[in-house]
Amino acid sequence: MPVSTHKRALPKQLVMQILERPHLVAEVRQLSAEQLGRLIREVGLEDAGELVALASSAQLEALLDADVWRAEEVGVDEAFDADRLMLWLEVMLDADVETTLRRVSELDEDVLTLTLCRSAFVIDVEGLAQRMSAGELEEDADLMLKEVEGGLFQDFEQYRVISRNARTWETLRALLVELDSRHGDLFLRLLERGCFVSNEYIEDNGGLYEVLSSDAQAEVDAAAARDVRRTDKGFVTPSDAAAFLRDALRRSTGALVEEQGRDPITHAYFRDAKAPVQPAREHARYDAPLAALLHEGDAPRVFATRKQPRLVQAMQALRERDDARYGASMHELGYLANVLLAIDAASPEPRRPVELAESVLALCERGARTIVEDPGVASIASMIATHGLVKLFRIGLREHARRADVQPELAWLARVQRKLLTAKM
């Protein structure tokens, strides 16, 4: 079925057109996780099961790291959203059970345990009955167990899995049944870990918590593992991003101009960085045939060719005269783009990477114009070589907050700045 040049295909039609063309399937498998995520969002997760089934283990891990952790407010690190992960699993199971089980078996077990514990209690029925008979548990544990027994549950030999969330129960039950039959070792490990967490919950229910509950500790462990994966790729945590921006906003412009060396957040980032991280660039896009299918007759802004900002021209000039300093500046540009990416995580409608990159460029250029009122390309290139982009960005951010005029590409950041300065630390 040919694609209309005037009307976009419906999500299911779009997916089928990709699956029916081997060269497009091959392109999907070559996309970065960010690009595949954009494609899935374009289709809609509920309709994208067959596309998700094409994802490699590395692609899926990165997709979930980006999508199932949600920030509730600016500058606060993301919290795990078990319901969202269950939706991914439901979509994947509907599309391809075998592939889903293979991908699940390759995921971080801390994440799987956390998902299980947020969705169900896992009870060793015989062991729990013996402990209760021996008086090892509080009386209210017996009452709680009777209450949850009245709900949805599934027995697996000595374990009883009791639903804590009716909305996701059928997906969880189907996944556990399939894991039991095809990945027995993983299945038993998950139930054992889930049982330990549930026992701790039951024992502590109604009492005082002197340490983190096991459920909370499971999220800490899963979040730590995710932070390592994402830090290795250059991501910045929302709390670090907020601290970096707040530090610049609370200093005077003069102090930032005179500042020597890097601020603590930036210093730690570059100290721990394993490899230079590329910024969110405009040319990171779908390959041409897939882009044509998705956007024929309706090319989005990200594919448009626009006049380059003066700062980009300055970067190109710097590359011609000092390739090493240019490389360092590109690393700084990637860092700054990821700072804004992290701080934008709590937005109801997060900006696209190209928009965040535009904001970085605009703030760096404003910083250069603060040092020299109307600098040319060569002058900006010299400032980048001398001061670095991070310093120019910090100066530009402070001036942007101080002045009344707001550039269109920075309007969203003005709202974020107000939240950062008024938030309790």
**pLDDT for the residue numbered 123:** 83
What does the alpha-carbon distance between residue 390 and residue 364 come to, in Å, rounded to a whole number?
A: 8
Residues 190-220: tens digit of each pLDDT: 999 988 887 776 665 443 223 233 455 565 5
Looking at residue 183, the DSSP 8-state letter turns out to be -
Domain end, chosen from 186, 215, 230, is at: 230
Q: Half-sphere exposure of 15 toward its Cβ, with a 13 Å CA cutoff?
A: 19
pTM, rounded to two decimals: 0.58
* Mean pLDDT, rounded, for 257-262: 89
Amino acid (one-letter) located at 288: A
In a shared domain, residues 154 and 21: yes
> E strands along 152-284, which residues?
153-156, 159-163
- Which range of residues forms the domain containing residue 67? 11-230
Residues 347-405: tens digit of each pLDDT: 767 777 778 888 888 899 999 999 998 889 999 999 999 999 999 999 999 988 877 55
> Is the residue at 156 inside a domain?
yes
**pLDDT for the residue numbered 285:** 42
What does the alpha-carbon distance between residue 175 and residue 178 come to, in Å, rounded to a whole number?
A: 5
Is the Cβ–Cβ distance between 8 and 298 less than 8 Å? yes
In a shared domain, residues 150 and 291: no
* Residue carrying structure tokens 């509907």: 94
Max avg pLDDT among 10-19, 133-142, 408-417: 10-19
In a shared domain, residues 249 and 199: no
Q: Report residue 151 as tokens.
A: 């709900």
In a shared domain, residues 350 and 417: yes
In a shared domain, residues 265 and 354: yes
Domain end, chosen from 230, 247, 280, is at: 230
Residues 164-182: tens digit of each pLDDT: 888 888 899 999 999 998 9
**pLDDT for the residue numbered 192:** 92
> Is the residue at 327 inside a domain?
yes
- Of residues 313 and 354, more confidence is placed in 313
Residues 114-136: tens digit of each pLDDT: 899 888 888 887 776 676 666 65
**pLDDT for the residue numbered 390:** 93
> Is the residue at 6 inside a domain?
no
Domain end, chosen from 212, 230, 248, is at: 230
* 92 pLDDT more than 90: yes
> Is the residue at 209 inside a domain?
yes
In a shared domain, residues 56 and 37: yes
In a shared domain, residues 270 and 223: no
- Of residues 110 and 353, more confidence is placed in 110
**pLDDT for the residue numbered 389:** 93
In a shared domain, residues 207 and 268: no
In a shared domain, residues 319 and 397: yes
Is the Cβ–Cβ distance between 161 and 187 less than 8 Å? no
**pLDDT for the residue numbered 33:** 86
In a shared domain, residues 266 and 180: no
* Mean pLDDT, rounded, for 337-353: 79
- List all residues 6 or more positions away from 193 whose beta carbon is below 8 Å from its beta carbon: 109, 113, 116
Query: Buried (b) or exposed (e) across 288-323, using 16+ Cβ within 10 A?
Result: eebbebbbeeeeeebeeeeeebbbbbbbebbeeeee
> Is the residue at 405 inside a domain?
yes
Is the Cβ–Cβ distance between 154 and 122 less than 8 Å? no
Q: Report residue 121 as tokens.
A: 């209690």
- Number of structural domains in the chain: 2
- Of residues 117 and 414, more confidence is placed in 117
In a shared domain, residues 249 and 299: yes
In a shared domain, residues 133 and 167: yes
